Structure 1
């Protein structure tokens, strides 16, 4: 029996993710949106690409949550998009209500699923999904660090003229201005970047990583990134659905790890068939820990505003 994945929200991130999932050919995919006929049209278009690309995934568009029933994984992308000049924090109240309502329907129809949250502000929305669902923390995960790390790796590879595959890096902390790129642990083919790039230039790349989403929003004028975000979710789904046990930075509900309690913060986590199977605790310097604590405090402020 084929696995089933539902994507809530048929905007640019959601529909691009559905296309990527269909092309994986390992699950049937349902795309839900409240806009009449829109997810049906996009789903049909993706379905009709199957004979050309060579996949047999059944892609269904719907306005009825009942069609998402018994999903193995549900990805929540629904929410207001970030606009130029708008911070992720500005999105908080608008998207809190949406994610809460969506999560209620997800739990009702797929009580055994794993939820991946993409809606911004990411860490706070993951907290809402966990609170609303009542699921164990292993089954509610936020997509943030994979995307932030991909941006960090891209900029480093461009700087040194190397393949992105040779660049290993981690970005921890909240998905926003307080994220913590661990430059000290970043390597290119095993060589620390401190031996390849000047300290000043590394700091500039770190700052560009923090501003990565805003840079794209500014360039687009309307809307926000969706190619890299959807690819980042795909990597998480791969590891969960295929039980790959990959270690990647995700927003995880911490319960004492890194000295942080009852809060979603981006840290390295091992993803497998049960969701988050292990939180990986790396030894941080005093400065890195301080930055992570600052990032956690920023998320905590959002949680307080939401009344959790």
Structure 2
């Protein structure tokens, strides 16, 4: 049995994400958990004629939902509301992620944990610190899903160059998963793509990738954020990881935000140089989750400048997430 749990399954990301996962034959048991409406969402999805069984769990049933899970995907959280500061939002969502991580530690300590809930730069350290506290932390099994940055990059570069197929072009994105911490390695796109851009075009494209979410918020007139594209990216990442774990497929690579101890030998020099414990870069997956963290390619001077700006912001984000758990211990 391959039980995949979606925590926050009735939300704007959770519903389309669950729909996409329901279509996969890799999953035999799709468990949907949320504080409201998950039972109804599960009933709706259960009518779809694919192999997986779908069950729904409400507010008081988190432990039952998580019991013996193989993989847990977490898009749970609340959007920022009028009058709410970003710090208020962090405290609420950090508490939600902490409680879910506690549930994982109790009920499925060997599960693979895939975190969508923002701010990913901080929520992944929260999950890891909780699992450490319970003595069940495996850095090869915890991932921050930063795939939307890759998806956006592929789409946006194709809009500038019609010869680029967005579906088959994967742009490596390193750093983190918010604002200036998002560093797209556009120099790695073949056939001299970057050389064809003016400095103004490169700046505009980089900014659009870093702040693409703002386009959606503006277009939705403040009534929502990127939910459908995030669900697509989350499903793509989840199914890629499951393909490597369950089918033993080799060579599957995605950019993802991970604890660098997942491949300590490969990242030791980088950790010493930057002082970072978490970082998004290309990861190759295997039966145990992280097979290897792929070495960074040679960065252009422009990309190195972006990374230099990202590092201090990442340090702040990571410390904020980790201290939320360690300072309350």
Q: Same fold (TM over 0.5)?
A: yes
Q: Aligned in 2, Cα 1:201/1:294: closer, same or farther, shift over 3 Å?
A: closer
Which residue, out of 267, 271, 290, partners 2:281? 267
Q: Aligned in 2, Cα 1:197/1:84: closer, same or farther, shift over 3 Å?
A: farther
**Maintained 8 Å contact 2:4/2:70:** yes
Structure 2 residue matching 1:111: 3-state secondary structure: coil
Task: Please say if 1:217 is aligned against 2:231.
Answer: no
**Maintained 8 Å contact 1:31/1:39:** yes
Deviations, residues 135-179 of structure 1 (Å, cap 9, x unaligned): 1211111001x2101101101111212321343411111211111
Which residue, out of 304, 307, 327, partners 1:292? 307
Structure 1 vs Structure 2 CA RMSD:
2.2
Q: 2: distance between equivalents of 1:166 and 1:251?
A: 22
Task: Please say if 1:39 is aligned against 2:38.
Answer: yes
Gaps of 5+ in 2: 262-267
- The aligned length equals 297
Deviations, residues 98-149 of structure 1 (Å, cap 9, x unaligned): 11111001121111101001110011100100110121211111001x2101
Deviation, 1:279, is 0.7
Which residue, out of 156, 172, 175, partners 1:173? 175
Alignment correspondent of 1:143: 145
**Maintained 8 Å contact 1:72/1:113:** yes
TM-score, with structure 1 as normaliser: 0.89
Alignment correspondent of 2:21: 21
Gaps of 5+ in 1: none
Deviation, 1:17, is 1.1
Which residue, out of 178, 184, 187, partners 2:187? 184
Which has a greater percent of strand?
Answer: 1
Alignment correspondent of 2:73: 75
Deviation, 1:270, is 1.0
Deviation, 1:83, is 5.7
Q: 2: distance between equivalents of 1:86 and 1:180?
A: 28
Alignment correspondent of 1:128: 126
Deviations, residues 63-90 of structure 1 (Å, cap 9, x unaligned): 2121321111101111112468989776
Q: 2: distance between equivalents of 1:62 and 1:216?
A: 30
Structure 1 residue matching 2:23: 3-state secondary structure: helix
TM-score, with structure 2 as normaliser: 0.83
Structure 2 residue matching 1:302: 3-state secondary structure: helix
